[in-house]
A and B are shown apart, each in its own frame.
Chain A
Amino acid sequence: MTTALDRRDRPAARAPFAHRGRWRSMADSPVWPRAALAIGLAAIVLSYVPILWLALMSFSERPFSGLPWPLTVDWYREMAADRRWPGPMGLSLALAGAVAVICMVVATAVGRGIMRLRRPGGVLALAVVPLFVPGLTIGAALFLFFRSYLDLRLGVWSMLIGHIVWALPFALLLVVVMLSRFDRRLVEAAADLGASPRRIFLDIELPILRPAVVGAGLFGFLLSFTELMRSIFLRGTATSMPVFQWAQSSDHQSYVPISFALSTIILAVTLPVLGAFFWILFRGMEGPRR
């Protein structure tokens, strides 16, 4: 009987293809794959510990103690009566919705234009600059530009600009990647058959681009809904949900635990939606099952 060890000792000499598929089989052979998996899983579990603990402690009478009991729903009752958070929540939803729509439209229009350039590199490099600049820095730069140089009154509009500068590069990359796989001959064939540019766009390009456009909208919504650093500087007197939560958590003396209840409800709404979306997205990427 030939053991795996024997084969490893004399690979080429005996059978040139004896270890074909060895890389694949590494999944269930030595130590490192297990170590890699263990460390990765540990990181994932640790990422979810605070999320689950937050949900648990939102039902605790003493949310800052080490033990969740005695349990209570008082914080939820208090949250329902609280008048401070519905405003920021509404603003965040409106901002996120606006950013999502703008990302979908602008990324599609600009992405199609970029693909028509002979050398798209320059415009693409310019487009991704905000990804290389920390949120704090671009927030401070935009603040100085609007407030000090242009002497404008900051508010929802400047927050919206900050969010778009952050989310649009991601949306644009999604659309450009999708378009670079796009078979231009489909468009040419449609044109040869007499379709108007409008029909070509609506009947051919848009259906093929749909996943990227939907992705651009979802990314835009989420990146805006959770955005903090740019909002802090550009908000003027407006308050979005992350800014509200940040203000609550910065002041840890008067920190009111209703924000635990609030976060739990936000999580309860977003987790299933995100889970379903990503599950479908990533299953789709795997291609048809063998």
Chain B
Amino acid sequence: MIRLRAAYHELAAGGWPVMLFVAAWTVLVVTPLALMLVYSLFRTQGFATDFTPGLETWRTFFDSGRWQVVVRTVRIGLTVTVVVMAISLPFAIWLAKGCRSASIRAALVTLITIPFFLDVASRTIVWRTLLGSEGAVNTLLGLVGIPPQAWLLYSEFAVHFGMVLVYFPTMVLPIMLVLTLIDDDLLEASGDLGASRWQTFTDVLLPLALPGVAAGVVFTMVPAMADVVVPQIMGGFNVNMLGNSVDAALDALKYPMAAALSSFVIAVLLVLLGLLALVLRRVGAGAALFRALDA
């Protein structure tokens, strides 16, 4: 009670907009997410929901072979995150520290940002006409005498490919923003003190860039794990992920199953992000020391 009152006074300092906002977010974000977990304890009877709590939906979930989908989702989500990171980290370093022309940097960042705001379905569907068996790529290959390559579309390759392109901007931008905040003098000082380039990279640049890397991973992995659009368009129905299962369960009016699947997506993300936080804490130990020296 006393703690509640203290929290209230704390909030009151922010005025009524903050209090209204906290109330709105509690009703519109926290409550629905919590109630979704509760909903997964109900079960479907015919086309209606039976509101007697139980674990039957979860039992069906674990028994029904959806494990394959779970494993595939985690595998594809992690692979995409790692590939996007491998592309983005060097490029972000180049943009922030290597590129000398302010105009070129502004132009590249503009180009990276724009596709992020275009609707994903429209810009992914086009790959079908490019990678399909009668698409542009296979037509070109045919001219050179190479038979049509079926794995280009409706395959795991296609899903990975589509997702890497969709989530590339969300990884590059946060890393780049954090890197531009690092003082060049720190990097030069590291060199002056005899560190090799590799040491400067691993001991100075990378620890200082970690907040950006973490933000990039969140903005990439969170939507990638629950993507519906890219797996359906690029994978046909061959490469279904958890997002597609949620979609299908809701279409079939199996609300408790959709709730269980959605809760499971959140659980998977919590575990992965928790692991990430642990790794970052370990790697970041040196960075804290560095920041202390800096101040």
Q: Point out residues on A near B: beta carbons under 8 Å.
A: 11-12, 16-17, 19-24, 26-27, 32-33, 35-37, 39-40, 43-44, 46-51, 53-54, 57, 63-67, 106, 109-110, 112-114, 116-119, 123, 126-127, 129-138, 140-145, 148-149, 161, 165, 222-223, 225-226, 228-229, 232-233, 241-242, 245-246, 249-250, 252, 259, 263, 266-267, 270-271, 274-275, 278-279, 282-283, 286, 289
Contact = CB atoms under 8 A, between A and B. Distances in A.
A283 B100 CA distance: 14
A267 B237 CA distance: 29
Contact of B126 (A57, A136, A252): A57
B88 to A, nearest CB: 8
Given A33-B98, A250-B232, A286-B105, A274 B117 contact: yes
Interface in B18-59: 18, 21-22, 25-26, 28-33, 35-36, 39, 49
Interface in B144-199: 164-165, 168-169, 172, 184, 187-188, 191-194, 197
Given A27-B99, A117-B11, 13 more contacts: A19-B191, A27-B94, A36-B98, A40-B87, A44-B108, A53-B129, A117-B13, A126-B29, A140-B262, A148-B39, A226-B117, A226-B120, A228-B119
A245 B128 contact: no
B14 A114 contact: yes
A166 B10 CA distance: 26
Main SS of chain A's interface residues? helix
B17 A229 contact: no
Contact of A47 (B115, B122, B128, B233): B115
Contacts of A21: 188
A37 B17 contact: no
Contacts of B91: 36-37, 39-40, 43
B250 interface: yes
A37 B128 CA distance: 28
Contact of A242 (B102, B121, B172): B121
Nearest to B91: A40
A222 B266 contact: no
Interface of B: 10-11, 13-15, 17-18, 21-22, 25-26, 28-33, 35-36, 39, 49, 87-88, 90-91, 93-95, 97-100, 102-103, 105-115, 117-130, 132, 134-140, 164-165, 168-169, 172, 184, 187-188, 191-194, 197, 200, 218-219, 222-223, 225-226, 228-229, 232-233, 243, 246-247, 250, 255, 258-259, 262, 265-266, 269, 273
A107 to B, nearest CB: 10
Contacts of A228: 119-121, 229
Contacts of B90: 32, 35-36, 39-40
Contact of A229 (B28, B109, B126, B228): B228
A123 B22 contact: yes
A120 to B, nearest CB: 8
A82 B248 CA distance: 30
Contacts of B88: 40
Contacts of B125: 249
B21 A106 contact: yes
Residue among A36, A48, A136 with the most chain B CB within 10 A? Answer: A136
A43 B165 contact: yes
Contact of A144 (B26, B35, B134): B35
28 contacts: A20-B192, A21-B188, A40-B91, A40-B95, A44-B112, A47-B115, A47-B168, A51-B126, A53-B126, A53-B129, A66-B129, A109-B17, A113-B17, A117-B18, A126-B29, A129-B29, A130-B29, A132-B269, A134-B223, A141-B36, A144-B36, A145-B35, A232-B247, A252-B128, A263-B122, A274-B117, A282-B105, A283-B103
Given A131-B218, A140-B258, A275 B110 contact: yes
Given A27-B98, A134-B225, A282-B105, A50 B123 contact: yes
A43 B94 contact: no
Given A117-B11, A263-B122, A279-B106, A123 B247 contact: no
Given A117-B13, A245-B121, A274-B117, A135 B223 contact: yes
B23 to A, nearest CB: 11
A35 to B, nearest CB: 7
B98 A49 contact: no
Contacts of B93: 36
Contacts of B137: 66
Residue among B49, B113, B118, B243 with the most chain A CB within 10 A? Answer: B118
Nearest to B139: A66
B87 A222 contact: no
B35 to A, nearest CB: 6
Contacts of B258: 140, 144
Counting from the closest, the 5 A-B pairs by CB-CB distance are A66-B139, A40-B91, A134-B226, A36-B90, A113-B14
A24 B229 contact: no
A54 B25 contact: no
Contacts of B200: 23
Contacts of B225: 134
B33 A67 contact: no
Contact of B124 (A12, A24, A50, A110): A50
